[in-house]
Amino acid sequence: MPTPNPYAAPTAQVADIAPDIPADIAKKIKGAWVAGCISAAVTLVVTLIAMSGTEALGFSVWSLGDVAFILGLTYGIYRKSRVCAVLMLAYFVLSKIILMLEAGKPSGLLVALIFGYFYVQGIVGTFAFHKLKARQATEAVVPGSAG
Protein backbone atom coordinates (compact mmCIF):
# COMPACT_ATOMS: atom_id res chain seq x y z
CA MET A 1 0.00 0.00 0.00
CA PRO A 2 1.58 3.32 -1.06
CA THR A 3 2.23 5.94 1.56
CA PRO A 4 0.92 9.48 1.07
CA ASN A 5 3.37 11.89 -0.47
CA PRO A 6 4.76 14.06 2.34
CA TYR A 7 5.57 16.77 -0.23
CA ALA A 8 2.05 17.04 -1.65
CA ALA A 9 0.28 20.34 -1.21
CA PRO A 10 -2.34 20.31 1.52
CA THR A 11 -5.94 20.25 0.40
CA ALA A 12 -8.93 21.87 1.99
CA GLN A 13 -12.57 22.02 1.16
CA VAL A 14 -13.64 25.56 0.35
CA ALA A 15 -17.23 26.68 0.58
CA ASP A 16 -18.58 27.92 -2.74
CA ILE A 17 -20.03 31.31 -1.84
CA ALA A 18 -20.74 32.40 -5.40
CA PRO A 19 -24.45 33.15 -5.20
CA ASP A 20 -26.96 31.74 -7.59
CA ILE A 21 -28.33 34.88 -9.16
CA PRO A 22 -32.13 34.97 -9.37
CA ALA A 23 -33.42 35.71 -12.87
CA ASP A 24 -34.98 39.06 -11.91
CA ILE A 25 -31.68 40.39 -10.52
CA ALA A 26 -29.67 39.11 -13.49
CA LYS A 27 -32.19 40.68 -15.89
CA LYS A 28 -31.86 44.10 -14.25
CA ILE A 29 -28.08 44.00 -14.39
CA LYS A 30 -28.06 42.76 -17.98
CA GLY A 31 -30.48 45.49 -19.05
CA ALA A 32 -28.14 48.13 -17.62
CA TRP A 33 -24.98 46.84 -19.28
CA VAL A 34 -26.75 46.34 -22.61
CA ALA A 35 -28.03 49.93 -22.37
CA GLY A 36 -24.45 51.01 -21.65
CA CYS A 37 -23.20 49.21 -24.76
CA ILE A 38 -25.89 50.88 -26.87
CA SER A 39 -25.07 54.27 -25.35
CA ALA A 40 -21.36 53.79 -26.09
CA ALA A 41 -22.11 52.71 -29.66
CA VAL A 42 -24.36 55.71 -30.33
CA THR A 43 -21.82 58.07 -28.80
CA LEU A 44 -19.07 56.52 -30.92
CA VAL A 45 -21.09 56.86 -34.13
CA VAL A 46 -21.98 60.49 -33.43
CA THR A 47 -18.35 61.21 -32.52
CA LEU A 48 -17.10 59.67 -35.76
CA ILE A 49 -19.64 61.72 -37.71
CA ALA A 50 -18.46 64.86 -35.91
CA MET A 51 -14.83 63.99 -36.63
CA SER A 52 -15.62 63.71 -40.34
CA GLY A 53 -16.46 67.41 -40.39
CA THR A 54 -20.21 67.41 -39.77
CA GLU A 55 -21.41 69.46 -36.80
CA ALA A 56 -23.01 67.06 -34.31
CA LEU A 57 -24.19 68.66 -31.04
CA GLY A 58 -20.73 69.71 -29.94
CA PHE A 59 -19.20 66.25 -30.26
CA SER A 60 -15.52 66.13 -31.17
CA VAL A 61 -12.51 63.87 -30.98
CA TRP A 62 -12.58 64.40 -27.21
CA SER A 63 -15.87 62.50 -27.11
CA LEU A 64 -13.84 59.32 -27.64
CA GLY A 65 -12.96 59.72 -23.96
CA ASP A 66 -16.68 59.62 -23.19
CA VAL A 67 -16.96 56.39 -25.17
CA ALA A 68 -14.09 54.84 -23.20
CA PHE A 69 -15.57 56.02 -19.90
CA ILE A 70 -19.03 54.64 -20.78
CA LEU A 71 -17.49 51.32 -21.81
CA GLY A 72 -15.52 51.16 -18.57
CA LEU A 73 -18.63 51.77 -16.49
CA THR A 74 -20.54 49.28 -18.62
CA TYR A 75 -17.92 46.62 -17.96
CA GLY A 76 -18.18 47.43 -14.26
CA ILE A 77 -21.93 46.93 -14.36
CA TYR A 78 -21.40 43.65 -16.18
CA ARG A 79 -19.11 42.64 -13.29
CA LYS A 80 -21.91 43.70 -10.90
CA SER A 81 -20.24 46.82 -9.49
CA ARG A 82 -22.58 49.05 -7.48
CA VAL A 83 -20.23 52.01 -7.87
CA CYS A 84 -20.20 51.70 -11.65
CA ALA A 85 -23.98 51.38 -11.79
CA VAL A 86 -24.47 54.57 -9.75
CA LEU A 87 -21.76 56.45 -11.68
CA MET A 88 -23.32 55.41 -15.00
CA LEU A 89 -26.70 56.86 -14.05
CA ALA A 90 -25.11 60.06 -12.73
CA TYR A 91 -22.91 60.44 -15.80
CA PHE A 92 -25.82 59.76 -18.15
CA VAL A 93 -28.07 62.33 -16.46
CA LEU A 94 -25.28 64.93 -16.40
CA SER A 95 -24.40 64.37 -20.06
CA LYS A 96 -28.08 64.65 -21.10
CA ILE A 97 -28.42 67.92 -19.18
CA ILE A 98 -25.29 69.30 -20.88
CA LEU A 99 -26.50 68.18 -24.33
CA MET A 100 -29.90 69.79 -23.75
CA LEU A 101 -28.30 73.04 -22.59
CA GLU A 102 -26.04 73.11 -25.67
CA ALA A 103 -28.99 72.39 -27.96
CA GLY A 104 -31.04 75.08 -26.23
CA LYS A 105 -34.09 72.86 -25.94
CA PRO A 106 -35.02 69.57 -24.37
CA SER A 107 -34.86 66.85 -26.96
CA GLY A 108 -34.74 63.09 -26.84
CA LEU A 109 -36.51 62.96 -23.49
CA LEU A 110 -38.30 59.69 -24.21
CA VAL A 111 -35.06 57.92 -25.15
CA ALA A 112 -33.32 59.45 -22.13
CA LEU A 113 -36.08 58.20 -19.84
CA ILE A 114 -35.80 54.70 -21.30
CA PHE A 115 -32.03 54.61 -20.77
CA GLY A 116 -32.48 56.14 -17.30
CA TYR A 117 -34.93 53.37 -16.43
CA PHE A 118 -32.42 50.68 -17.37
CA TYR A 119 -29.63 52.39 -15.44
CA VAL A 120 -31.84 52.67 -12.34
CA GLN A 121 -32.71 48.99 -12.71
CA GLY A 122 -28.98 48.26 -12.92
CA ILE A 123 -28.47 50.03 -9.60
CA VAL A 124 -31.31 48.04 -8.04
CA GLY A 125 -29.92 44.81 -9.49
CA THR A 126 -26.33 45.33 -8.39
CA PHE A 127 -27.36 46.27 -4.85
CA ALA A 128 -29.69 43.26 -4.67
CA PHE A 129 -26.89 41.02 -5.94
CA HIS A 130 -24.46 42.18 -3.26
CA LYS A 131 -27.10 41.88 -0.55
CA LEU A 132 -27.77 38.30 -1.67
CA LYS A 133 -24.04 37.56 -1.87
CA ALA A 134 -23.49 38.84 1.68
CA ARG A 135 -26.43 36.84 3.01
CA GLN A 136 -25.22 33.65 1.32
CA ALA A 137 -21.67 34.20 2.60
CA THR A 138 -22.99 34.57 6.14
CA GLU A 139 -25.06 31.40 5.80
CA ALA A 140 -22.02 29.52 4.44
CA VAL A 141 -19.90 30.55 7.43
CA VAL A 142 -22.53 29.97 10.11
CA PRO A 143 -25.13 27.51 8.82
CA GLY A 144 -28.65 28.21 10.01
CA SER A 145 -27.85 31.72 11.29
CA ALA A 146 -30.10 33.47 8.77
CA GLY A 147 -33.10 32.26 10.75
Supply the pLDDT for residue 19.
62
Mean pLDDT, residues 54-59:
64
Supply the pLDDT for residue 58.
62
Mean pLDDT, residues 49-77:
82
Supply the pLDDT for residue 135.
87
**pTM (predicted TM-score):** 0.78
Percent of the chain with pLDDT over 70: 82
pLDDT tens across 71-121, in order?
A: 999 999 999 999 999 999 999 999 888 888 877 787 788 999 999 999 999
DSSP 26-89: HHHHHHHHHHHHHHHHHHHHHHHHHHTT---TT--TTHHHHHHHHHHHHHHHHTT-HHHHHHHH
